[in-house]
Each structure stands twice: as structure tokens, then as C-alpha cells.
Amino acid sequence: MSRPVRLAMFGLAGGVTAVLLVLAAFALPGFGGSRHPYRDAAVPAAVRHATPNVISSINFDLRGLDTLGEETILLASVVGVVVLLRPAADERVREPRIGGRLLDGTRLFGYLFLPITTTIGLLTVAHGALTPGGGFQGGVVIGTGLHLLYVAGSYRALKRVRHLEVFEYGEALGAGAFACFGVATGLVSGAFLANVLPLGSFGDLFSSGSVLLLNCSVGIEVASGVMVLLAQFLAQDIEVEQAEGAKR
Amino acid sequence: MTVYPYLVAVFVFLVGAFGIVRSRNLIHAVVCLSVAQAGTYLLLVAVGFQWKAPPPVFGSPPTKPTLKVTDPLVQAMALTDVVVSGTVTALLLAIAVQVAKRQDMSDPNELAALRG
């Protein structure tokens, strides 16, 4: 399809979609109004399960099955990236070059914030049921925060500390633990991912039953996933090169 | 004024789609997809908003649960969406890297046939 034809087709289809979406927007309840039926159902349900963070309660308790699906998309994407970016037959892995200059300020900032960022990430995961945050957010903070070691140190320093197999197992473990927990609760209570654990008292760190556990398993999975993903892209840029004499 | 945020969401979504259609670079196309997805987050969060209502979190500082909060359901959807879209973007970028290496180009218009 040539470019002008494609643009014309998009003009037509996009115009129709725009009209329909604008009409739909005018039929929605007004912005900022007080009509939220899902909220009215979700907030009391979360409070019954002793989970102050209603968003975490929805993700890991009320609609845990959706999160299992999303987690599987995440796992599949990570596996896809690993498969796509592995060195091909006509490529080889070289030793990363040493060198490059680093500002002292960058190094200081990086090493100062490495422990702080990782701790904040762990806290975000652990308090997912109480305060804003949870496994998804904390996992991303941990996974990217560990790369301060690359920014402030070197690729070699990152490789020495980051054992990729650990994170590959962590990725599988996080996803597997979520699914196994779902099956176990299904056997015990008859409902997949039902909150069968002791609920504790509202607002305590060890409360909200299974939300805490599932938060941690998602945190492990997301942190490991981010580590594995970034490792593939970094290796592609720094380590993988065309083998000599290979034809594209 | 009460539809303004929804119209912004529609605009962002369509601009992203338009960017994909007229893209001359695979990386550009992936970024445009992220822009279109940002439109959906905006719609979700706008649907759940309520004037003068705090976020649906009662743990910090501990407060008495009340129904007058923003809608937690759409926020939960937007949250998982953001993480999943991040990893899917990574997958698409990995495909772009392979296309650039195998076919030595990055313009989606030149992508005529699949090649190993």
C-alpha cells in the first residue's frame, strides 16, 4: 500500500473513530462527578479484607485473576525479548571494552543512591497493601535502581554483582508462586485466588491476608523481569558484534 | 468543561495512531504506540476522578475508610497497564533491533517480506 493511500485510509477511519469517541465522551458521566458504582462496591470489600490500599486489594484480592493474566503477558514479553536478542549464528560475544570517563559527581551520586533506591523499592513492595505502591511499582524501582551500578560504576561492576541466572529463576519463581497460590486457595476454599489467609487488623504491616504474599511474588517477578530485559539490551549494545567475515 | 479531559484522551490516542500510520522509522512507530496507550491511561484515570476526593488509600496516615475517594478500579487497571505496556514496548524494540540487523533498515515502509 502506498503512503498517500494509507494516509487517506487513516483519514477516513480515524475521522469516523474520532467522531464516535467524541460522541461517547459526551455520553460519559461528567468529569469529577460523584457517580462511581465500582468504587462503591470495591471500597467496602477491601475494608472487609483489612486492606487499606484499595488499589492493591483490587489487583491482588478482588480481581487477582486479572493480575495473573497481566503477569503472564509480562513473563511472555520477557521470554520473547530473551529469545529475540540472543546472539545469532553469525554474531559473537566480545569482552566489553574498558574505558570511558566518569564525573566524580556522577559516581558519588550513583553509589549514594544505589542503597537508597533499592531500599525504597523493597519498602514499596512490602507496604503495598498499606500505602501507595505495591509489587508492580516497587519491582520496577528495584530493577532499574540496581542499574545505578552501571551508571555510576561500569558494565563490569554490574556484571560482577548481577547474576543473571538468579533473576531468570526469580522471574519464573514469581509467576509460578502466584499461580500455585491460586491453585492452592482454589483447593482449600473452592475459589481461585480467594483470600483465605488470616486477615489481621486493618492497617498493620502483616495484615490483608494474601495481598502481602502476592505483592511480594509480583515484586520479585517484575524486578527480575526488568533486570533480565535491560541485561539483554545492554549486552546487545556492549557485547554482541558481527563475527568477522559473516555476511548479513 | 466536564468532557474536556475525555476529549484530551481521545486526542492523545488518535495522535498516537496517526503517528504509527505515517511513521518512517520502527522506533518512532513503537514510541507512537506508547503515546496512543497514554491516551487510554488518561481516559481511565479521568473516568475515576472525583472533585475534592482523596486517593483510595487509607493507610498513610491511617484514616477512617470512606466512600468519598477516587475510583480505585480504574487506577488498578491503569497501573497494571503501565507495567505491561513497558515490557511489551521492550519486546517491540527487540523486534526492531532484529529487523535493523537482518534487513539493514528501519523504515516500516520497506518491510516487504519476512526474512530469517
* pLDDT score for B116: 54
Q: Is residue B97 part of a domain?
A: yes
Residue B27 located in a structural domain: yes
Assess whether pLDDT exceeds 70 at residue B1.
no
Looking at chain B from residue 90 to 109, which residues have their Cβ under 8 Å from any Cβ of chain A?
A: 90-91, 93-95, 97-98, 101-102, 104, 109
Q: Which of A140, A134, A138, A142 is nearest to A118 (CA)?
A: A142
Task: Write out the H or E segment, with its range, that includes residue A240.
Answer: strand A240-242
Please state, in angstroms and as integers, the Cα–Cα distance from residue A107 to each residue in A96, A98, A238, B55, following that order: 20, 16, 20, 37
Half-sphere exposure of A215 (CA within 13 A, CB side): 32
- Does residue B115 sit within a domain? no
Domains held by chain B: number? 1
What pLDDT is stored for residue A177 in this prediction?
A: 92
Render the burial of B18-36: b for 16+ CB within 10 Å, e for the rest.
bbbbebebbebbbbbbebb
CB pairs under 8 A between A and B: 175
Structural domain contains residue B30: yes
Which structural domain, as residue segments, surrounds residue A89?
36-242
* Single-letter amino acid, residue A67: T
**Nearest chain A Cα distance for residue B60, angstroms:** 6
Query: Alpha carbon of A40 to those of A143, B92, B103: distances in Å?
Result: 35, 38, 54
Other CB atoms within 10 A of residue A226 CB: 27
* Residue A22 counted as domain residue: no
Query: Residue B21 and residue A43: Cβ atoms within 8 Å?
Result: no
Judged by CB atoms within 8 Å, which residues 142-181 of A form the interface with B?
Answer: none
Average pLDDT, 10 consecutive residues per value, chain A (248 residues): 86 95 91 88 88 90 89 92 87 78 87 93 90 89 91 83 89 92 88 80 78 91 93 88 63
- Angstroms from A209 CA to nearest CA on chain B: 16
What residue numbers bound the domain in which B38 lies?
A: 4-56+66-110
Which residues 123-142 on chain A approach chain B with CB closer than 8 angstroms? 127, 129-132, 134, 136-137, 139-140
| Counted domains in chain A | 1
**Separation between Cα atoms, residue A57 and residue A208, nearest integer Å:** 8
B20 in a domain, yes or no? yes
Rounded Cα–Cα distance for residues B107 and A212 (Å): 46
What is the per-residue pLDDT for A248? 47
Decide if B106 is inside a domain.
yes
- pLDDT for the residue numbered A14: 93
Quickly tell me which residue has 475494608 as its cell. A47
Residue B115: band (very low, low, confident or very high) from pLDDT cuts 50, 70, 90 = low
**Contact residues on chain A for B88, CB-CB shorter than 8 A:** 73, 77
Tens digits of residue pLDDT in B5-45: 999 999 999 999 999 998 889 999 999 999 999 999 999 99
* In a domain? residue A144: yes
Task: Measure the CA–CA gap between B89 and B31, rounded to whole angstroms.
Answer: 8
SS (H, E, C) chain B: CCCHHHHHHHHHHHHHHHHHHCCCCHHHHHHHHHHHHHHHHHHHHHHHCECCCCCCECECCECCCCCCCCCHHHHHHHHHHHHHHHHHHHHHHHHHHHHHHHHCCCCHHHCCCCCC
CATH number of the CATH domain containing B45: 1.10.287.3510
Cβ of A55 within 8 Å of Cβ of B57? The answer is: yes
Q: Strand, coil or helix: what is A242?
A: strand
The C-alpha cell that represents A68 in the structure block: 495473573
